Structure 1
Amino acid sequence: MTSPPMLLRLGRRAAPSLIGRYRAAGTDTLFGVRPAVPRRFIIDTSYSAHFMDFKGSSIPSSMKKLVVTKLSQDFREAVSVRTVAVPTPGDAELLVRNRFVGINASDINYSAGRYDPSVKPPFDAGFEGIGEVVGLGLSASSRYTVGDMVAYFGSGGAFAEYTVVPAKESVPVPSMKPEFLTLLVSGATAYIAMKRLGNLAKGETVLVTAAAGGTGQFAVQFAKQAGCHVIGTCSSDEKGGFLKSIGCDRPINYSTEDLAKTLRKEYPQGIDVVYESVGGSVLELAVNSLANKGRLIVIGFISGYKTAAGITPFNGGTLPVKLLQKSASMRGFFLPHFIEDYKEALRSMMQMFAKGELVCEVDCGDMAQEGRFVGLESVFRAVDYMYAGRNLGKVVVDVAPPTVGDSKL
């Protein structure tokens, strides 16, 4: 089995190319809108190297960003807030004033140095954001202009008030909605994994672990759309109610119900497809619960990310026997390995979202003890909140709330 560090090293190189490859292929309408500026050839390049709307966009001279200064799976220990100069975009780059940034379970894998051991601190943190273009390089101006709204994800740097992003790795969005962040990684993972590895058939039984989380919510909906009976694990009755509202047939609150006993009693024939992101004992239970010809998809193992090893021990000594006895299969899913499916996945999800056929639940911490996640410093609280299992949907931080009268909401 490929080790997690090797898998993550591969991802650090591959992840930024997902959007970039499709931008290069002419997919400006990926999110259903075209850039505000039509493509054009630049004839005279002598007058400027980049455009910065200092007056209209009120770009300050300095900003805050989160920097990994020490390798640790403890995000608070690893990451510090730094005040630095606002960067200037290069020729093919955009300067984005971030409005929302997304929190991912893998943020602590990154702060622990598991993506690429050769990269040493300090390095920037954060993978995905959505914001307004306030500066851009000359060649980037053939596709974008100041004031455009874009979403992006890459290999670090989103946890900042301003981020320089390659234009080819950015996608125009019609509005500054945090829901778009849910689709870039979380939604795409569920969509492609279920389609390519799940091979869902009408009438089958599907189990989604951590079903009310950022990616689980999409796995539930896509399985239901395929005509399956959907089971979803969660940690509260509130989350169970949410799962029912998006089509989950049998939410199981594992804090009040015994998951193993419930599955044995209510699904004696086993589970056809499992979408698994927890790892450890939950993964072992998933293997034991598979039906004949069952498919188990591993998209993560969050229960182990906060440990020194990065993975929870798994008793796999009898795994070959268990799979053989049931003609079952167990496959891993890593989004950068499925870039050929990315464009179609995003387009399909955006169409469903626009038609009201897809729920993109966002958790900005409104119900958190200390309140909504506002400002860059609240990223620390947001990471803790997610790992405490309190989130319902994708955890998002509101980096820079708009001023009164802002029309880009």
Structure 2
Amino acid sequence: MASRQLPSTMKKLVVTKISQKFRDVVKITQESLPNPGAGEVLVKNRFVGINASDINYTAGRYDTTVKPPFDCGFEAVGEVAAIGPGASLRIGQPVTYSQFGAFSEYKNISERNLLKLPRVSADYLPLQVSGATAAIALDKYGELKAGETVLVTAAAGGTGQFAVQWAKRAGCHVIRTCSTDDKVQFLKKIGCDRPVNYKKENLKTVLKTEYKNGVDVVYESIGGEMFETCLNGLKTKGRLLVIGYITDYESDQGFKPTRTLATIPIRLLTKSASIRGFFLNHFVRDWVPYVSKMADMIDKKELQSFIDMGENSPKGPFIGIDKIVDAVEYLYSQKSIGKIVVELNKPATSKL
């Protein structure tokens, strides 16, 4: 095994029981540093991303066969720290990956599941889950056409920021919802045509008065009453993309059924409209080409990546594995702007 000087142990976050209450069910463990196997490399995780579905995973909603204890976290940016037999990457190579168990200071990853990066930067981290979800969903299911109207909910969040930019690049008019005036200014910065602070404006009224013909595509991640408003706001042949329902994630069931569900078929029928669910895990083959393309766009200043490392959070900045819990709770506070990122390790100081 080829490696630079490494510690003998590492810390990682482990889920101890099934629940959506993240703080109550995770703990930090210290374990021996694993040796990479054949075709694997050991990645030193520099930055990890926080996702709304981190609590869905601890609640056992993604894979009911997984029993505690198990690792959590979906994505990381780091550098190769050690190389197993048959692996070809060099020590120090910047890489990124999307795989369960990323909330760890080091992690063994099959070389074929890594994407090489030009440098270690937190700017690339939002692309793994948030960026890829936005781009692939809008391309594959949104079927965007220039001149169409697109509504993006939670637009100032990790994935919303990319949905906005992707729709604008397609030549669409974009309406975006958010919860604060600071987020309104952020949305204007990335090209928003019509930001809506739903704490001050009624989205139903905005759609009825300013978009009487309805919207062509909705990129929806909130659920609940917001989902109802978006469904009603679709125009004929409109497409509603469900990429999440964060309003209900913190409930015991993870979903709160409503009486209006029974009316959905007729509402879709009368508009020839559709609701399309999107889950990134079903688009594994698209992940590498899309993330690679978006990383290149960031380097060329064609796409902006905004991160929030908790600088404005009472419990921030988010540095160290012990800050992951605070970062998850910060996401649900609705105060973050951009993708929430935690820095786990400082850069290596030794020469390659």
TMscore range, shorter length: over 0.9
* Matched letter for residue 269 of structure 1: N
Does the 8 Å CA contact 1:73/1:109 hold for their aligned counterparts? yes
Partner Cα separation in structure 1 for residue 342 and residue 51 of structure 2: 11
Deviations 1:279-322 (A, max 9, x none): 11111111111111111111111111111111232431111111
Aligned to 2:117: 173
Secondary structure in structure 1 of the residue aligned to 2:330: helix
Structure 1 355/406 Cα, relative in aligned 2: closer, same or farther at 3 Å? Answer: farther
Counterpart for residue 131 of structure 2: 187
Worse-superposed segment, 338-347 or 68-77: 338-347
Give 1:52's aligned amino acid: S
- Are 2:18 and 1:89 equivalent residues in the alignment? no
Q: Does 1:262 align with 2:210?
A: no
CA-to-partner distance for each residue in 1:172-198, whole Å, 9 max, x for gaps? 111111111111111111111111111
Identity among equivalent pairs (%)? 51
Alignment of 1:350-365 (within 5 A): 350-365=295-310
Provide closer, same or farther for how the CA distance between residues 330 and 407 of structure 1 changes in structure 2, counting only shifts above 3 A. farther
Work out the number of aligned pairs and report it: 351
Asked if 1 retains the 8 angstrom alpha-carbon contact of 2:115 and 2:288, the reply is no
Distance 1:401 1:257 in 2: 43
Counterpart of 1:99 in structure 2 is 46
- Which of 207, 232, 236 is the matching residue for 1:288? 232
Shift of 1:340: 3.9
1:339-381 per-position Cα deviation (integer Å, ceiling 9, x unaligned)? 3433432233123212111011111111111221000000001
Aligned to 1:137: 84
Residue type of the partner of 1:51?
A: A
- Residue number in structure 1 paired with 2:2: 51
User: Which residue of structure 2 lines up, in the alignment, with residue 220 of structure 1?
Assistant: 164
Q: Which residue matches 1:235?
A: 179
Match of 2:286 among 330, 341, 344: 341
Alpha-carbon shift at residue 51 of structure 1 (Å): 2.2
What residue identity is the alignment partner of 1:158?
A
**Partner Cα distance (1:184, 1:295) in 2:** 24
Q: Where does the alignment leave 5 or more consecutive residues of structure 2 unmatched?
A: none
- Partner of residue 249, structure 1: 193
Letter of the 2:3 counterpart = M
CA shift, 1:406, in A, is 8.0
CA–CA distance in structure 1, aligned partners of residues 275 and 325 of structure 2: 34
Distance 2:292 2:9 in 1: 37
RMSD: 1.6
1:301·1:312 contact (CA, 8 Å) conserved in 2?
Answer: no
Q: Write the mapping of 1:279-318 to structure 2, written as runs, cut at 5 A.
A: 279-314=223-258, 315-318=260-263
* Greater alpha carbon shift after TM alignment, 205-214 vs 334-343: 334-343
1:190/1:215 contact within 8 Å kept: yes
Residue 164 of structure 1, aligned match among 76, 93, 108: 108
1:317 match: secondary structure = helix
Letter in 2 for 1:116: D
Query: Deviation above 6 Å: which 4+ runs of structure 1?
Result: 405-408
Give 1:206 deviation, angstroms.
0.7
In the superposition, the TM-score normalised over structure 2's length comes to 0.96
Q: 1:172 to 1:344 in 2, by over 3 A?
A: closer
CA deviation vs aligned residue, 1:108-167 (integer Å, no higher than 9, x gap): 111111222222111111111111211121111xx212111111111x221111111111
- Residue type at the aligned position of 1:181: L
Once the two structures are superposed, what CA deviation does each residue of 1:249-288 show, in whole Å capped at 9, x if it has no partner?
0110111111212221211111111000111111111111
